[in-house]
């Protein structure tokens, strides 16, 4: 596709929407915080656009969300620790942005999380050893950052 423009905040009125996939377009602007009202949403895929700004903390209200795919944009700021409130999350792709700060230890509360992909950002600090508590975690990709320290023995 070649969709352009910004994500309309009016999408937040589609309260029964379960999948929102706008992958590989030229959508720009920020991710509207109003998307946090889409409580039935299971998949939010905005990969490969021109999105900027931060990851809205309001996405933590998406308690049915299983996949959050925000890779390949120009998102900045930190990974919100509030994402740990999206308790059904299984797949988290934030790679290929300009995210800074640390990998939040709170992600270890996401007991269903199987894939964490945060490579190609500007993350610092260590990979939290608390992620060892994630019994479903089978993929962690964190290369091409400024991470340091030792790798937890469970990984």
Q: What pLDDT score was predicted for residue 61?
A: 96
Q: What pLDDT score was predicted for residue 151?
A: 80
Q: Using alpha carbons, list the distances in angstroms from residue 4 to 49, 50, 107, 129.
A: 9, 9, 32, 41
Q: What pLDDT score was predicted for residue 1?
A: 83
Q: Residues of 120-137 as b/e, b for ≥16 C-beta within 10 angstroms?
A: bbebeeebbbebeebeeb
Strand partners, 154: none
pLDDT band at 102 (very low <50, low <70, confident <90, very high): very high
The 10s digit of each residue's pLDDT in 16-55 is: 999 999 999 999 999 999 999 999 999 999 999 999 999 9
Residue 114 makes CB contacts below 8 A (sequence gap 6+) with 90, 91, 136, 137, 138, 139
Q: What pLDDT score was predicted for residue 15?
A: 94
Q: What pLDDT score was predicted for residue 26?
A: 97
Q: What pLDDT score was predicted for residue 35?
A: 97
Strand partners, 43: 19, 67
pLDDT band at 3 (very low <50, low <70, confident <90, very high): very high
């Amino acid at each position: 596709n070649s969709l352009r423009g910004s994500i309309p905040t009016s999408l937040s009125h589609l309260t029964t929407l379960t999948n929102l996939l706008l992958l590989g377009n030229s959508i720009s602007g920020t991710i509207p915080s109003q998307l946090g009202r889409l409580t039935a949403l299971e998949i939010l895929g905005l990969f490969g656009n021109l999105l900027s700004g931060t990851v809205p903390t309001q996405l933590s209200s998406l308690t049915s969300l299983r996949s959050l795919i925000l890779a390949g944009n120009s998102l900045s700021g930190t990974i919100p620790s509030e994402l740990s409130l999206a308790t059904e999350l299984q797949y988290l792709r934030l790679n290929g942005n300009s995210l800074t700060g640390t990998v939040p230890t709170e992600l270890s509360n996401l007991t269903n999380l199987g894939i964490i992909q945060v490579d190609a950002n500007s993350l610092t600090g260590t990979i939290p050893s608390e992620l060892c508590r994630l019994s479903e975690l089978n993929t962690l990709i964190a290369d091409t950052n400024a991470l340091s320290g030792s790798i937890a023995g469970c990984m």
